[in-house]
C-alpha cells in the first residue's frame, strides 16, 4: 500500500464509492479542487490502479474556554477519511484479524504523514476530525477522544450529525 498526494492524472478513470453519499459527492465534485484542504489517496499497489481510500487534510484549531477567555490551539484537521466499500472491514493482506484492517493501516499512514507535516512545515498540538456516528469506536481505538466540555471547534467547521474528536500530538 502507498499513500500519495492526489493528482488529476492518478484519479483519471478511477471510481470511488464509500457508501456515504456526502463523501462520494465530495470525491466527485471537490476532492481535487478544495482550496481548504490537501487531498491524499491510499493505493493498493504502486501502479495506482486500485484506490483503497481517500483523505483530505486542512489547518484548523480547537477553541478552549477558560473563564471569560478563550485560547485557540493549532490543529491539523482530517477533513475527509474514507475507504472504498471494497476495502471496508477487510483484513490487510498478510496480517491476522487482530493485526489490522485496511482502515487501520490507512489511518496509521495518515497520522504518520501528519506528524511529518507538524515536525517540518506547520506546528500543531492536535489532530481533529468530525466522525460519523458509526466510526466513533474506530477512532477511539486509535486514541481519539470526543471533545470535552471546555473545547469546541471554530463555528465554520461544524458538520451536522458528526461528532468532533481530537488526538493529542
* 155 pLDDT higher than 80: no
> How far is Cα 145 from Cα 7, in angstroms, rounded to an integer?
32
Q: What is the pLDDT of residues 85-119, one digit of tens each?
A: 999 999 988 766 667 899 999 999 999 999 999 99
The pLDDT-based confidence of 143 (bands split at 50, 70, 90) is very high
Dig out the grid coordinates for 33 from the structure.
479542487
> How far is Cα 92 from Cα 109, in angstroms, rounded to an integer?
13
> How far is Cα 99 from Cα 95, in angstroms, rounded to an integer?
6
Q: What is the pLDDT of residues 28-82, one digit of tens each?
A: 999 999 999 999 999 999 999 999 999 999 998 888 887 788 888 899 999 999 9
> How far is Cα 82 from Cα 20, in angstroms, rounded to an integer?
9
> What pLDDT is attached to residue 68?
82
Rounded mean pLDDT of 4-26?
94
Burial code of 22-38, b = ≥16 C-beta within 10 A, e = fewer? ebbebbeeebeeeeebe
How many Cα atoms sit within 13 Å of 46 on the Cβ side? 0
> What pLDDT is attached to residue 159?
63
Phi, psi (deg, nearest 5) at residue 45: -145, 160
CATH, domain range 2-168: 3.40.630.30
* 22 pLDDT higher than 80: yes
For the chain, what are the domain ranges? 2-168
H/E element holding 55? strand 51-66
Amino acid at each position: 500500500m502507498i499513500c500519495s498526494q492526489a493528482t488529476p492524472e492518478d484519479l483519471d478513470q478511477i471510481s470511488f464509492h464509500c457508501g456515504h453519499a456526502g463523501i462520494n459527492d465530495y470525491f466527485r465534485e471537490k476532492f481535487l479542487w478544495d482550496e481548504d484542504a490537501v487531498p491524499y489517496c491510499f493505493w493498493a499497489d504502486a501502479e495506482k490502479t486500485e484506490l483503497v481510500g481517500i483523505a483530505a487534510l486542512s489547518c484548523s484549531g480547537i477553541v478552549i474556554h477558560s473563564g471569560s477567555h478563550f485560547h485557540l490551539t493549532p490543529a491539523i484537521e482530517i477533513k475527509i477519511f474514507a475507504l472504498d466499500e471494497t476495502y471496508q472491514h477487510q483484513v490487510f493482506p498478510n496480517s491476522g484479524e487482530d493485526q489490522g484492517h485496511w482502515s487501520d493501516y490507512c489511518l496509521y499512514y495518515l497520522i504518520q504523514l501528519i506528524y511529518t507535516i507538524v515536525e517540518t512545515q506547520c506546528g500543531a498540538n492536535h489532530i481533529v476530525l468530525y466522525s460519523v456516528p458509526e466510526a466513533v469506536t474506530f477512532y477511539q481505538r486509535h486514541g481519539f477522544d470526543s471533545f470535552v466540555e471546555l473545547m469546541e471547534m471554530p463555528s465554520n467547521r461544524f458538520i451536522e450529525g458528526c461528532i468532533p474528536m481530537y488526538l493529542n500530538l
